[in-house]
Amino acid sequence: MPSNEATSKNAASNEAPRKPRTIPLYRTIRALLRDPLIALEEIARRSGGDVVRLNLGLFRPYLITHPHHVQHVLRDNAANYVREGMFWKPLRRLFGSGILVDGPTWEPSRRRIQPLFAARNVNSLVAGMADAISEAVDRLDPAARSGRPLDASDEMARIVHRTVARVFFGDRISAADIDRLIPAIDSAAVSIGARLVLPFVPDGLPMPGDRAFRRAVRTIDDVVLPLVRACRSAASPANASGRANAAGPSGDIVSTLCQARDENGDLLSDRQVRDDVVSLFAAGTETTATALTWLWVALDARPDVAARMYREIDRVVGTDKVSASHLPGLQYTRMVLQELVRLYPVGWLIPRTAAARDVVGGRVIKRGGTVLISPYLTHRMPQFWDRPDVFDPDRFEPGRAEHRDRFAYFPFGGGPHQCLGSHLFTVEAQLIAATILTRYRPQLRNRAQVTPLPAASLRPRQPVELMLAPVRRTGSAARDHEARAA
């Protein structure tokens, strides 16, 4: 791999801070409107890791791609780079004052929620998650037996939502409400895309997706707020101790948050619980479902990687039901997932606003300026990755990360705002991928190129349709599976 210090033009120097080079409007706006990712990739490639400014008329954000500069913004001087400004306005309409946006409630919210996503607590939930995944994957059987194609995005979302719903809501949520919540969150994530890519457009000017977004938010509120109120009314005063204990086998995240208290000792409002639940649920489900949709695209393009992954799962799991005991042995599967979110990071854009003037890589960042950081861009820059466009899980062999800059790879962000659910993602994605691959061999129905669509998350632009070939099974696991399918 190329050395960052040897190839970067951004190493520390004694030069006086200067304004960053500005990319003219005529070179950006048409390309951004046509395909934002291709346009930004070209700008990042030409910048060589230097801080540049995009002239989009009245809106002129700074683009930061070098790992050292990303580290400065996300970790070293994170207090100066806040989650406010025009990029965050659309998200506030969905997440309110939840943990995904800044404000006076953010730090207390993170302190309450962080223990719920600690590795120890997530690991205690694996058995229940594995059961939910097995039941959800059972529903793929009719299509596999009949040879009917499936929409990978829809099916991965269905499996993930039903799994995460158990963690978040326990048995409080009905199947009918899950079936309303899944498409609403999906619709919100897609329909917000235009305002994220063009955040300078005034709220009063209609944009594609606005109407669908408003409908989706109303549906989410119609499902989640009654659940919060029902949980609140069912809780006894003795249970409202104010301590956010980890959600164990008999608990769930909603009930834990309903019992939590704010920094003044008061119970959280229904709206605050709703905002945190929707923020976490949307982020957690969207990340895993979208990444698993990309998985089948990546495996189809690399049959050798797919074959190695199949062999590992066959060796480690065999005909058993996937469980927590199998996860340590699924090392290559974990490497595949790590490479997957390198090439297709679901959270592809991380905007920040500079609260005060700063200098990054020798370039002046003005107070109030919008800073754009993109894992998608940094993960694909040849200065920091060998053959960056090639899907190669061996990059993540144990020990190889020691020679990589910490912020050359940040699919879950970094610093104080780093995603709390990274361990949950790894565990859940391993369980789902292994469960599917113990039963089926997925193949893409349409072999045409699948390209990314920049919305709230990095989704496939084209439909990903799968044909599932059943794997021949033997032993008691086969009989159990047949019984469930019947």
Residue pointed to by tokens 């229904």: 270
| Mean pLDDT within 393-412 | 90
Q: What angle (nearest 5°) sits at the alpha carbon of residue 135, between those of residues 463 and 258? A: 95
Q: What pLDDT, on the 0 to 100 scale, is given for residue 90? A: 64
Of the candidates 348, 124, 63, the one whose C-alpha atom is nearest the C-alpha of residue 247 is: 124
Q: What pLDDT, on the 0 to 100 scale, is given for residue 322? A: 95
Q: Is it the case that residue 484 has pLDDT exceeding 60?
A: no
> What average pLDDT is seen over the chain?
84
Lowest mean pLDDT among 195-204, 239-248, 361-370, 468-477: 239-248
| Mean pLDDT within 7-34 | 72
Of the candidates 327, 336, 341, the one whose C-alpha atom is nearest the C-alpha of residue 431 is: 327
Q: What pLDDT, on the 0 to 100 scale, is given for residue 86? A: 63
| Mean pLDDT within 229-239 | 67
Provide, rounded to the nearest whole percent, the portion of the chain with pLDDT above 90. Answer: 44
Sheet holding 440-444, edge to edge: 150-151, 465-470, 440-444
List of residues 6+ apart from 302 with CB closer than 8 A? 391
Tokens describing residue 428: 């859940």
pLDDT in tens, 43-70: 999 999 999 999 887 789 999 999 999 9
Tokens describing residue 15: 């030069």
Q: What stretches of 150-269 show up as alpha helix (H) in DSSP?
A: 152-169, 175-191, 193-197, 210-234, 253-259
* 185 or 394: which leads in pLDDT: 394
| Mean pLDDT within 181-199 | 76
Tokens describing residue 23: 């990319």
| Mean pLDDT within 281-302 | 91
Tokens describing residue 82: 């806040």
| Mean pLDDT within 373-390 | 95
Q: Is it the case that residue 198 has pLDDT exceeding 80?
A: no
Write the DSSP assignment of 438-450 as a string of letters.
HHEEEEES--S--
Instruction: For the chain, list the domains and their CATH numbers.
Output: 4-451+461-485 (1.10.630.10)
Lowest mean pLDDT among 277-281, 452-456, 478-482: 478-482
| Mean pLDDT within 222-226 | 91
Q: Which amino acid is at 67?
A: P
| Mean pLDDT within 442-461 | 86
Phi, psi of 21, deg, nearest 5: -65, 135
Return left, alpha or beta for 398; rule: phi > 0 is left, psi -120 to 50 is alpha, else beta. beta
On the CB side of 242, CA atoms within 13 Å amount to 8
Radius of gyration of the chain (CA): 23
Residue 155 pLDDT level (bands cut at 50, 70, 90): very high
Q: Is it the case that residue 213 has pLDDT exceeding 90?
A: no
Tokens describing residue 427: 């565990």
Q: Answer whether 406's CB lies under 8 Å from 71's CB.
A: yes
Lowest mean pLDDT among 6-20, 80-94, 220-234, 327-341: 6-20
Q: What pLDDT, on the 0 to 100 scale, is given for residue 103? A: 64
Q: What pLDDT, on the 0 to 100 scale, is given for residue 214? A: 86
CB atoms within 10 A of CB 123: 13
Q: Is it the case that residue 244 has pLDDT exceeding 80?
A: no
Q: Which amino acid is at 94?
A: L
Of the candidates 416, 434, 436, 412, the one whose C-alpha atom is nearest the C-alpha of residue 424 is: 412
* 186 or 221: which leads in pLDDT: 221
pLDDT in tens, 412-440: 999 988 888 888 899 999 999 999 999 99
| Mean pLDDT within 448-473 | 87
Provide the residue count of the chain: 486
pTM for this entry: 0.83
Q: Is it the case that residue 4 has pLDDT exceeding 90?
A: no
Q: Is it the case that residue 89 has pLDDT exceeding 70?
A: no
Spatial distance between the Cα atoms of 313 and 433, rounded to a whole number of angstroms: 9
